[in-house]
């Protein structure tokens, strides 16, 4: 009886934690997704060097193709996109479909939960 009550309380607490207002995803889980899917090419700190890809510190809210010192493809530079979380979501599912001619060699993140977690994590990079 006591155990069942405790489980109920735990489930309610977890639900409260996971249903924040802005994002459904977990930044902590998203950090793991970033480490396994993105960090080979992208830095995540304000002072990360530009690498195979541009550093992604502060990416949420910035205009595509504008990280200083990184040489973008003409496609990315001219895309006119702004990296809102909604735009990032669409892009990261299938980069080459959204920015035709991008040089980002990544086929896309198809796991919806991982994508939500990753977006929640990217939003913490500022």
Instruction: State the binding string over 28-67 for ligand HEC (x if CB under 6 A, else -).
Output: ---------xx-xxx---------xxx-x--x----xx-x
Least Å from the CB of residue 21 to ligand HEC: 23
What is the C-alpha separation between 121 and 24, in angstroms, rounded? 11
- By CB under 6 A, residue 120 contacts ligand HEC: no
Nearest Cα neighbor of 115 from 42, 58, 33 is 33
Least Å from the CB of residue 123 to ligand HEC: 12
CA dihedral 24, 26, 31, 32 (to 10 degrees): -100
Cβ(95)–Cβ(80) below 8 Å: no
Q: Which residues bind ligand HEC (CB under 6 A)?
A: 37-38, 40-42, 52-54, 56, 59, 64-65, 67, 72-73, 75-76, 83, 88, 92, 102-106, 109
């Amino acid at each position: 009886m006591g155990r069942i009550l405790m489980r109920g309380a735990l489930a309610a607490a977890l639900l409260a934690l996971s249903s924040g207002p802005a994002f459904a995803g977990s930044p902590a889980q998203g950090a793991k997704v970033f480490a396994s899917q993105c960090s080979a090419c992208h830095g995540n700190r304000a002072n990360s060097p530009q690498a195979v890809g541009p550093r992604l510190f502060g990416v949420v809210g910035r205009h595509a193709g504008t990280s200083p010192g990184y040489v973008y493809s003409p496609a990315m530079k001219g895309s006119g996109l702004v990296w809102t979380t909604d735009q990032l979501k669409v892009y990261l599912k299938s980069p080459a479909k959204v920015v035709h001619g991008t040089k980002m060699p990544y086929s896309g993140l198809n796991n919806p939960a991982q994508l939500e977690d990753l977006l929640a994590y990217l939003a913490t990079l500022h």
